[in-house]
Amino acid sequence: MKIKYSVAFLGLAVVGVFSAMSSYASAQERDLPGVDIISREDRGADESRRYLDNAAYARYLKDTKVYQDRLNGIGIDRGGKYAARKQRAETNNKRRSFLIENYPDDIATDEENDLHDGNELLWTEEFKYNKTKIVIHHTAGSQVYDSEEASRKGVVDIYKFHAYNRGRGDIGYNFLIDPFGNIYEGRAWGKGVISAHTDWNNTSTIGIALMGNFDVDEPTAAARRSLTKLTTVLAVKYNIKPDKKQPYFTAIEEDPWLEVHTNDSIIGHQDAKNTACPGDHVYDKIPDLKRRIAWYVAYFRENGIEDFNDIEIIKGDAVFTDRDTANVSLRLSNISAAVTCSTADTQVRIIDCVPTSNWVDITLWRLGFPASGWKTIIINDGDDSYLGEVIVVWEEDLDELAENRQEKYEAANWVTPIHAPEEKMKSKVNPSDIPGMLNRTVDVLLYDLTAEYDNRDMRCESLCDVTLDDQTIYGAKIVNVVEDRGADLLNVFIDLKKFTTTKVSLKNNSLITVTNYERGVSGYPMNLFRWNIAINKDEYNHLDYGWLNRYVIINSVSLDDYLAGIGEASELQHEEKLKTMALLVKNYALFYIEGKNPHNSLPTDGSYNAVDDPRIFQKYLGAGRESYGQRWMDALRATKDEIITYDGFLPILPYFHCSAGFTRAGREYFGRTDTPWLLSRLDVATCASGKFEGHGVGLSGDGAERLAKKGVGYKEILKRYYAGIDIDTY
């Protein structure tokens, strides 16, 4: 029996579209039938890099010889380099001994190979044929893979970095997945090979890396689908239960040298090592990934499915129905009239399954009152099976789309706004006011530097003018500011000379680097700021402790530089989505910039009018955003003279991540009585959980991306989510 893996993300009016990946033959594909994998040969792997006699490893070989000489007492070990290397080797041997004694199955290999085509390998190829764990990574770095050509080159660059720069002879991951859903063969030799992706956990694990930096960006839908597909087939092949507890090992510097902890069989890299990998935006999706894979694995086992050939990706559609049924249409090809449908979901029953041309129309009947969310459908057509995932949003949730729903449900005490009724529009900003506002400086509170740091170490790319209270020192390069909380003063060190002050500002014509600011987005310099940095006493809203009065750190920049540093959109998103966000963040800033519309997390008459934390204001990353944000800059330029208006003034336009099938009205969630443009709207891109991620008012980020990919322009996207708005110029 063949299974055609047809994951469709649907709701009552929610469609998920898959596009099939190109097919490439590879050694891996023979072991993973049905998964299209781009082979090492097709991705341009230089196999000679794995050989010891490759000229590229001359330095490595020379260094190894010198190291062996030092171990034999020959020569002088200047600086203790080789002594430290020897110490590391001894410590690692102790770690291996610990594993051999206590966890032999997690260190023992089934086969080893030192030669390939008569060439001695730099690293011995080792094999473990019973894999028990899957570790998910991201490649991080600063590369943005905005085309398939860039992705292919990126795989080559990663291979060279692992094989040559790190002297490992090969790439560390078993598989890589690019933003377009292409899956690449990683480590050589295919089945059972032990790769090098997670220290002390490599033997029994399979490493899968999504290409990109997901501390910064959201993974694309295509990449997520390929990750689900590949991980599912691997889990079935190796009999991996996603939630089964497994041991993991982290290196420590004392006996027993390895710390042991347990976690699920499918994890993110950070679950096994002190790292941010695979990035927040991938890591937070792993629980749902495991849930879905667990269901698939159980279904495959129950039905004795072992052949994954001819896995087919299809698209589906859905329509509105009455309260207790959901109609779903899946687009298939070459189907027969003998199609049957089933589901293992105990909360729904299939009451109709009708093939029509290249579609199968399915009607679900709900049993009881299940929550909106994921449902799974199996379509059988002879020897072929199609497996589809459907997001169902039941009608009582969709009932909320009615214009009178707020009054209706408030009367029934069904909806309670999180805020008391309020008026948001304290002052109406007209488009004619905007030219004068564009020259206004945006003063951005750097939240983490304010809340977490007492010391701020700064370096001026070109020389800074430093003002301490009323004294100015010209031509400073390095400035260290240390809070003395006991005396409620700042100690400022400039060229090792100490000054005591109550406020300090650095004025610079280029960049200022906060060198001890560990805003950890690997590969991106997220501690760079333009123009001015000031430290002075003010109030700020601490997310844990409420309003505090202490020294705050503020970056003052032009509005253009502020918008360039905004990180509310991913470089991987569609250009129309980026333009949508460019207008939204501009409106948001201009709405609050003059202080006439007070923000509840900004002090009245304070020294700043923005905050860099998206939990408070907007996500601002400083000048480092420019280093990887070319497409974002293009979107800003495309919308440079445009602004969003409602009835001739600037409205407040909230947005959020994804929805439960509809957006909420401003009155419902925020209690706002004067934002008639914030009405509830049907949203076609729902959260995987079936629940809101974010407040749910205004524009849904996932929904906007989906519309953009369907050819909807940014102006139309905005008008679909915000009632009665216009796009004006100024």
| DSSP secondary structure of 237-265 | HTT--TT--EEEEEE-SSTTSEEEEEE-S
CA distances from 57 to 45, 121, 164, 165, 167 (A): 16, 11, 7, 10, 7
139 vs 630: CA distance, rounded Å:
20
- pLDDT at position 579 is 97
Backbone angles phi, psi at 479, to 5 degrees: -130, 125
Query: pLDDT over 70 for what percent of the chain?
Result: 80
The closest of 104, 108, 148 to 126, measured between CA atoms, is 108
Q: Answer yes or no: is pLDDT of 451 > 70.
A: yes
499 vs 492: CA distance, rounded Å:
5
Query: What are the start-end ranges of the E strands in 255-368?
Result: 258-263, 266-268, 316-319, 325-331, 340-342, 348-356, 359-366
pLDDT digits (tens, 9 = 90+) for 571-624: 888 999 999 999 999 999 999 887 678 888 898 888 999 999 999 999 999 998
Per-chain mean pLDDT for the chain: 81
- pLDDT at position 415 is 42
162 vs 185: CA distance, rounded Å:
15
Q: Answer yes or no: is pLDDT of 15 > 60.
A: no
Q: Answer yes or no: is pLDDT of 155 > 80.
A: yes
Rama region for 339: left / alpha / beta (φ>0; ψ in -120 to 50; rest): beta
Judge whether 306 and 344 are in contact, CB under 8 Å.
no
633 vs 381: CA distance, rounded Å:
49
130 vs 143: CA distance, rounded Å:
34
Classify 500 as helix, strand or coil. strand
Classify 2 as helix, strand or coil. strand
Q: Which amino acid is at 543?
A: L
Compute how many other C-beta atoms are within 10 angstroms of the C-beta atom of residue 129.
Answer: 11
Backbone angles phi, psi at 393, to 5 degrees: -115, 110
Which whole number is the average pLDDT over 95-99? 92
Rama region for 114: left / alpha / beta (φ>0; ψ in -120 to 50; rest): alpha
Domain spans in the chain, listed from the N-terminal domain onward:
21-51+111-302, 316-392
Q: Answer yes or no: is pLDDT of 693 > 80.
A: yes
pLDDT digits (tens, 9 = 90+) for 49-80: 777 766 555 666 666 677 677 667 677 766 66
pLDDT digits (tens, 9 = 90+) for 540-560: 999 989 999 999 999 999 999
CA distances from 6 to 381, 390, 684 (A): 13, 11, 19
Q: Name the least confident of 92-101, 117-126, 498-507.
A: 117-126
The closest of 602, 603, 699, 702 to 651, measured between CA atoms, is 699
Judge whether 628 and 524 are in contact, CB under 8 Å.
yes
First to last CA, the chain: 63
pLDDT digits (tens, 9 = 90+) for 413-441: 434 444 455 567 777 888 888 888 888 89
Judge whether 414 and 421 are in contact, CB under 8 Å.
no
- pLDDT at position 3 is 39
pLDDT digits (tens, 9 = 90+) for 321-346: 456 777 777 767 677 888 888 886 77
- In 182-221, which positions are buried (b, 16+ CB within 10 angstroms) versus exposed (e)? bbbbbbbbbebbbbbbbebbbbbbbbbbbbbbbbbbbbbb
pLDDT digits (tens, 9 = 90+) for 252-308: 888 999 999 999 999 999 999 888 899 888 998 898 888 878 877 776 666 666 555
CA distances from 331 to 18, 49, 139, 343 (A): 11, 46, 35, 18
Q: What angle do CA 447, 218, 162 make, to 5 degrees?
A: 100
- In 388-417, which positions are buried (b, 16+ CB within 10 angstroms) versus exposed (e)? bbbbbbbbebbebbeeebbeebeeeeebeb
More confident site: 434 or 16: 434
- Per residue, the 3-state secondary structure of 384-450, as one string, reads EEEEEEEEECCHHHHHHHCCCHHHHHHHCCCCCCCCCCECCCCCCCCHHHHHHHCCCEEEEECHHHH
- pLDDT at position 495 is 76
CA distances from 5 to 16, 332, 345, 388, 494 (A): 14, 12, 17, 7, 64
Q: Is the peptide bond before 355 cis (omega within 30 degrees of 0)?
A: no
Confidence of residue 535 (pLDDT cuts 50, 70, 90): very high
Judge whether 398 and 381 are in contact, CB under 8 Å.
no
Q: What angle do CA 62, 63, 64 make, to 5 degrees?
A: 90
Hey, what are 563's tokens? 């918008």
Compute how many other C-beta atoms are within 10 angstroms of the C-beta atom of residue 304.
Answer: 7
Fold for the domain defined by 21-51+111-302: Lysozyme-like (3.40.80)
pLDDT digits (tens, 9 = 90+) for 190-239: 778 999 999 999 999 999 999 998 888 888 878 988 898 899 889 888 88
Q: Which amino acid is at 295?
A: W
pTM here is: 0.65
442 vs 583: CA distance, rounded Å:
17
Pairing of strands 266-268, 340-342: unpaired
Confidence of residue 637 (pLDDT cuts 50, 70, 90): very high
More confident site: 539 or 706: 539
Query: What are the start-end ranges of the E strands in 517-577?
Result: 528-542, 546-558
Tell me: domain 316-392, CATH 3.90.226.30, correct? no
